[in-house]
């Protein structure tokens, strides 16, 4: 007769499902970038300055399926945390128990809001469980006014929660992010020749420079970079990242690396609670 799954195994079901969606998302993005007809680069020369400016022309929008996959990842991770909260309430000896629809994993923008609101979502949890959640610091920052104080340890959970709220109502907006890479100009390739030959075995290896051309998302007609005409290779190659377009907290953050970080963060929480004997 098969053994019943442990609480840890049950809680990791959606975490593992989230990772499968991340793999699917990675494949979708790779396919989109491989198609080669989603955008093109054009340039204009200024003969007076001897410079060439490169521009982005958008031909095809980012597929809506990518937004759907991002939502699948986010909802699996966010609901895992609520499943954890539900388990912590149900396994506690404290009674009476709250209604199931009132049990949530508490995530807030500030520490003050967390302190004032967490008990409504953690009723009947054991003190050890509440302390373990406190230790995560599931909020964006410690002070509601002093933005210079920086972000807290639990900031990824706040970002995850904000994205989850949007995705529950509509498809998320994705953008071509504000970090671009391009192939090495002639002067930089000469400068790095010894390094390229030693590290990569060839001075013609495909190495790119990452840069931030603008503080805003890339749109049709965006200026990418300006280089001396004499320094430009015959065929400059450009690469773009696909990023969150909203909400403001994560706007411009690259999709895959951000989602992988959130996945690891949530999985580590489950493993930590299990290691502490709270599951």
pLDDT digits (tens, 9 = 90+) for 101-137: 888 999 999 888 998 888 888 888 999 999 999 999 9
The tens digit of pLDDT for each residue in 224-235 reads 888 888 888 777
In this predicted structure, the answer to whether residue 173 has a pLDDT above a threshold of 70 is yes
Half-sphere exposure of 66 (CA within 13 A, CB side): 24
Within 13 Å of residue 180, how many CA atoms lie on the same side as its CB?
Answer: 25
Q: What is the pLDDT of residue 263?
A: 97
- Of 157, 162, 16, 20, nearest in space to 81 by CA: 157
Name the more confident of 247 and 192: 247
d(CA 265, CA 160): 10
Beta bridge partners of residue 51, listed in sequence order: 46, 228
The Cα–Cα gap between 23 and 197 comes to 33
Least confident window among 19-28, 35-44, 60-69, 78-87: 35-44
Question: CB of 262 within 8 A of CB of 91?
Answer: no
- Work out whether the CA dihedral 77, 110, 171, 224 comes out positive or negative: negative
The answer to which of 33-42, 80-89, 255-264 has the lowest mean pLDDT is 33-42
61 contacts: CB under 8 Å, gap ≥ 6: none
For residue 18, the number of C-alpha atoms closer than 13 Å in the C-beta half-sphere is 28
Please give the model's pTM, rounded to 2 decimal places. 0.83
Query: What is residue 197's predicted lDDT score, i.e. its pLDDT?
Result: 59
pLDDT at residue 261 tops 80:
yes
Q: What is the mean pLDDT of residues 259-266?
A: 97
Higher pLDDT, 26 or 41: 26
- Distance, CA of 233 to CA of 188 (rounded, Å): 11
Which residues neighbour 134 within 8 Å (Cβ) at sequence distance 6 or greater? none
Work out the pLDDT band at 253, boundaries 50, 70, 90: confident
> Could you count the other beta carbons within 10 Å of the beta carbon of residue 275?
10
C-alpha 22: how far from chain center: 11
Contact at 8 Å (CB) between 97 and 124?
yes
Contact 117, 108 (CB under 8 A): yes
Average pLDDT for residues 187-215, to the nearest whole number?
A: 60
Predicted confidence band of residue 37 (pLDDT cuts 50, 70, 90) = confident
Asked if the model's pLDDT at residue 201 lies above 70, the reply is no
β-bridge partners, 84: none
So what's the pLDDT on residue 60? 87
The domain spans of the chain are: 7-275
Confidence check: pLDDT of 188 > 80 = no
- Class of residue 108 by CB neighbours under 10 A (exposed 0-12, middle 13-18, buried 19+): buried
């Amino acid at each position: 007769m098969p053994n019943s799954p442990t609480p840890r195994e049950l809680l990791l079901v959606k975490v593992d499902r989230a990772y499968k969606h991340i793999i699917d998302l990675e494949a979708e993005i790779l396919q989109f970038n491989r198609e080669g007809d989603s955008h093109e680069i054009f340039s204009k020369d200024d003969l007076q300055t001897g410079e060439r400016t490169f521009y982005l022309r958008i031909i095809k929008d980012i597929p809506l399926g990518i937004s759907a996959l991002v939502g699948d990842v986010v909802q699996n991770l966010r609901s895992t945390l609520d499943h954890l909260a539900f388990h912590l309430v149900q396994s506690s000896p404290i009674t009476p128990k709250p209604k199931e629809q009132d049990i949530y994993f508490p995530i807030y923008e500030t520490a003050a809001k967390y302190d004032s609101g967490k008990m409504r979502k953690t009723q009947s949890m054991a003190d050890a469980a509440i302390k373990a959640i406190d230790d995560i610091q599931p909020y964006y920052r410690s002070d509601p006014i002093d933005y210079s104080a920086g972000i807290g340890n639990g900031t990824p959970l706040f970002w995850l929660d904000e994205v989850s709220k949007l995705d529950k109502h509509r498809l998320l907006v994705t953008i071509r992010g504000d970090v671009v890479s391009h192939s090495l100009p002639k002067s930089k390739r000469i400068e790095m020749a010894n390094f390229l030959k030693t590290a990569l075995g060839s001075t013609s290896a495909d190495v790119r420079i990452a840069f931030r051309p603008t503080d805003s998302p890339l749109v049709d007609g965006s200026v990418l970079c300006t280089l001396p005409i004499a320094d430009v290779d015959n065929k400059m190659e450009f690469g773009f990242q696909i990023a969150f377009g909203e909400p403001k907290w994560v706007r411009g953050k690259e999709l895959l690396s951000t989602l992988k970080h959130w996945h690891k963060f949530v999985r580590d929480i489950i493993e930590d609670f299990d290691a502490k004997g709270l599951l």
